[in-house]
Structure 1
Amino acid sequence: MEERMGKVSFLSPFKAIKYLFQKPRTFLFPFQKRDASKRYRGLHLNDWEKCTGCGNCADICPNQAITMVKIPEIKPEPGEKNERPQIDYGRCCFCGLCVDICPPGSLRLSRDYLHIDHATDSFVYLAKDEKTDRQHFFSENEYSIFKASLSHRKEKFEGFVSDLNYTLFEPERVPMKEVPPEERKLSFIEQVLGYSREEAKKEAERCLECKLCEDACPAHLKISDYIKAIYEGKEEESLRKIFEDNPIPSICGRICMAHCEKVCSAGIRGEPLAIRWLKRYTADSIKDYKKVLEQKPEAATGKKVAVIGAGPSGLSVAYFLRLKGHSITVFDSLGGGGGMMRIGPPLYRLPIEAIDKDVNYISSLGVEFRFNTTVGKDVMFEEILKEYDAVYLGIGTTISRSTKIKNSEKCIPALLFLRENKIGKGFKVGKEIIVIGGGNVAMDVAREALRCQNMQYPGEKVVTKTVSLEDWDIMPASEEEIEDAKAEGI
């Protein structure tokens, strides 16, 4: 030891005295202050007004430091759960993944990092910010470092905040292949071609599995489950999940209103997941529902139920009641099932084959369909009441609304026009057509009229116009319908 150190004077330690009167290079905590860096990762902040309660922060946390807690005073709505993240700082490593994944960007990290408290459980904290928890945030002058804790924090002291232009998931959906406008407007060929297996898997991979979509779905389908099955290459399992709540996936996979997509978490930072198209992919990829589902009705109950109307609601009632063991008979005046779906949406949106695929499966379960049977004409309602234990009315709305202005009786009603062109003899149209209305039905009529013109007057100049009370930004029609119509020359 002595050899390595050599000879050292006993006065050497006193050399440190020279630093005694120099200015310290560190600051005197807590009497002096030094703010953390601008992007410091300290205690959490959460804007409850932006937070949707999706739970992605809890799912991604590598230390399981985040728990979603129900907040009774928050009323759950479609696209927003009444849950908010609670942070356990005994587990949190301040990695910031929860901030990066947060779709609305409500979760942030502050530059606060001190928590002084004698209570051993006080480090479990329901993250809030000054908007929600004003009493525990203080201005620069009011803030005291001696009181620094989760209940005594500095206001306007954000640190690490996520860039909403950056995502941990793919922000853009997989494009859907379609027949080009120049080609599709010449016939009733189906416009949307559907996803391939590779495309469906790539799109399914974007799902965050937060299930906000399921709350917004009128049928509350297990959307996350059937999309996960698609990603795993289990199309048969995906179909089983869909049929737990919806027996008409081929129909809904083409023309449902997709309320689920309007609240999709991925849509906040990018494009919403193509949930409707993924449902269609599953339905189209399974050729024989019966072979895959292997459903058998429960033991016969001896009860007979009459369903009047073979539209979506009638088909659903027939399906679920049949599985319960009841004897079901469906009456409909049309020549096939689907109700308004059979006579309304044009063939280029909803082919008859897609409808019949769903209807035929429901029929295979033992549901009796009496088509071309008008209740009140071919069979009396009183007779049905006597013969059946219960009657379900699902007759829909099959009559168009009128403008009720002079000479409006000379116009062709929208639903009549769509019906005759889809299942009837069709209309002889003129070379110039005007459609009154700005909703989805008006767009269907206009686009169908254009196809009729091109088929009846091939190569000739034809014109189809729409007139609407509403301006572009408030037209009732969906953006998708409007853009498709414009692309076709409406």
Structure 2
Amino acid sequence: MATITLSINGNEIVAEKGLTVLEVAKRSQITIPTLCWVKGTVPRKACEICVVEIANGDELGLKSRVGDGENRLYCACTTLAQDGMEIATDSEAVIAHRQQRLAIISQTHFGDCKAPCNLTCPGQINVQGYIAHVAKGEYIEALRLIMERNPVPFSVGRVCPRFCETRCRRILVDEPVSINHLKRFVADWCMAHHIDLKIPRERPTGKRIAVIGGGPAGLSCAYFLTRKGHQVTIFEANPKLGGALRYGFPEYKIPKEVLDYEINTILKMGISIMLSQKWGRDFTLQDLRDQGFDAIFIGTGAGVDQPMDIPCASREHVYTATRFLRMINEGRDLDLGRKAAVIGGNNIAMEVARSLIRKGVDEVTIIYPGPNWKCRPTSVISKRPSTRGSSFCSWPHRLKYVATRKKTIASASN
């Protein structure tokens, strides 16, 4: 390995040939500040914060001088170290130039920056903050920070579409940070260790709030209002809380024991619940007002399916995905037959197909509405999930239904 000898701040250093001045300094434990350099990348534009003064730059034939041209200043991130260089990282000229560059950058920099991952997250979770806690092994602090914005990280950590990871700055280097997996990890770690998060509450306000619906929206509303010191009661039509988290996702996606633990974590804050209480059947809005509630939140969800634009959609054994998954989660004994077809190619279609196979269906055909498979379901690793027993075909020209043995069977033809 070829080496060179140079001087940094009066210290003689032997370094590997071919490194930049910045790399030599870092390996020698000498700090040179920089805003544009990340290991493994090439700066798109020099920030000129990493300037150094090279006294013999002219003699060495260096051309890329910065500043007004009178000072012998060069960007450490792009200047290759040479034998005999005399480098200063903190001279008066260097400090003055850095201050000038910072002033220029600040003039066009309005307010505090938020990382793209943070801005992309629908919940505006402090991504950098909880990842920093995880890096230090502070898992409880990480989960507390997550729950400042997201009260259901145990469930979301399993089904989140990970919008944040599509905008992770680490993509510019190699691949995004596993932001969502870290969220799930700290939640599962705290559950496994029976950690009491001791979620803080403000002083009681004396206000009573009725929340209609115990799904993700209702639970979130109850969580944040309780933290504000209000007294909350949830009215849920089903025998159990959870809504779409309980009835819209298969067991293998969100295990019921995990969901129950998460819901109990929220209820332990002092939230009251009324189960099997359906709005319009068991109570009205006026009833809640008469009971003394100061405000009412309606979070009943979007439980009504859109009509399917296919022939004979109302026939027996033709289900919408929402209805089918709910029946599976309710533990109903369904006669699914030997073959099944799933029309669609998004995440829900994949969950239905996998649930059918897990229920013993021998063959599942996924009919994708288009000539080519272009969807990217986030619920599976590959674009075409290698689910045993499933096959794929593009959208047919027509669908015909044939009634045999008291069952309606959907068949596709071109």
Instruction: Name the TM-score, length of structure 1 as normaliser.
Output: 0.58
For 2:366, the aligned partner's letter is T
Worse-superposed segment, 361-370 or 396-405: 396-405
User: What CA deviation, in whole Å up to 9, does each residue of 1:100-159 have, x standing for no partner?
Assistant: xxxxxxxxxx96325436899777458x9xxxxxxxxxxxxxxxxxxxxxxxxxxxxxxx
Matches within 5 A, 1:71-470: 87-88=47-48, 92-93=51-52, 112-116=64-68, 124-125=100-101, 211-287=115-191, 291-386=195-290, 387-410=292-315, 411-453=318-360, 462-470=362-370
Q: CA deviation at 1:318?
A: 0.6
Indicate if the aligned counterparts of 1:41 and 1:94 stay in contact, CA closer than 8 A.
Answer: no
Of 26, 29, 32, which aligns to 1:63? 32
Instruction: Return closer, same or farther for 1:439/1:360 CA change in 2, 3 Å cut-off.
Output: same
- Structure 1 residue 297: Cα displacement: 2.5
> What are the residue-to-residue correspondences of 1:24-43 with 2, within 5 Å?
none
User: What is the distance in 2 between the residues matched to 1:256 and 1:279?
Assistant: 10
The aligned counterpart of 1:160 is none
Query: Contact conserved, 1:88 with 1:125, CA < 8 A, in 2?
Result: yes
Which of the numbers 459, 475, 478 marks the counterpart of 2:378? 478
Structure 1 unmatched ranges of 5 or more: 1-38, 43-60, 69-83, 96-109, 129-208, 455-461
Give 1:298 shift: 2.2
More relative contact order in 1 or in 2 (CA 8 Å, sep 6+)? 1
Looking at secondary structure, tell me which structure has more strand per residue: 2
The code of the aligned residue for 2:159 comes to I
| Stretch of structure 1 that moved more, 480-489 or 342-351 | 480-489
How many Å separate the matches in 2 of 1:306 and 1:247?
18
How many positions carry a matched residue from both structures?
318
Maintained 8 Å contact 2:211/2:296: yes
How far is 1:231 from its partner?
A: 2.0
1:213-265 CA distance string (max 9 Å, x none): 11211111122222222222221121221122211111111111211111112
RMSD: 3.5
Q: Does the CA-based 8 Å contact 1:310-1:331 persist in structure 2?
A: yes
The offset of 1:399, in angstroms, is 2.2
Distance 1:408 1:65, change over 3 A: closer
| SS in structure 2 of the partner of residue 285 of structure 1 | helix
What is the CA–CA distance in structure 2 between the aligned matches of 1:431 and 1:489, rounded to whole Å? 11
Is the Cα–Cα contact under 8 Å of residues 312 and 339 in structure 1 kept in the other structure? yes
Shift of 1:305: 0.9
Letter of the aligned partner of 1:400 in structure 2? Answer: D
Shift in Å, 1:479: 7.0
Question: Following the alignment from structure 1 to structure 2, what is the Cα–Cα distance between the partners of residues 389 and 86?
Answer: 58
Identity of paired residues, percent? 28
CA displacement at 1:474 relative to structure 2: 2.8
- How many Å apart are 1:345 and its aligned residue? 1.1
- 1:287-345 Cα deviation digits (max 9, x unpaired): 38985322342222111111111122211111111011101011111222221111011
Q: 1:481 to 1:362 in 2, by over 3 A?
A: same
CA distance in 2, matches of 1:114, 1:274: 39
CA change 1:383–1:111 in 2 (3 A) is: farther
CA distance in 2, matches of 1:267, 1:388: 50
1:472 offset after TM fit, Å? 4.5
Report the alpha carbon displacement of residue 475 of structure 1 after superposing the two structures with TM.
2.0
Could you tell me how far apart the structure 1 residues matched to 2:120 and 2:126 are?
11
Report how far residue 362 of structure 1 moved.
0.9
Distance 1:63 1:295 in 2: 42
TM-score of the aligned structures, taking structure 2 as reference length: 0.68
Q: Distance in 2 between matches of 1:94 and 1:376?
A: 78
Letter in 1 for 2:343: I
The structure that has the greater radius of gyration is 1
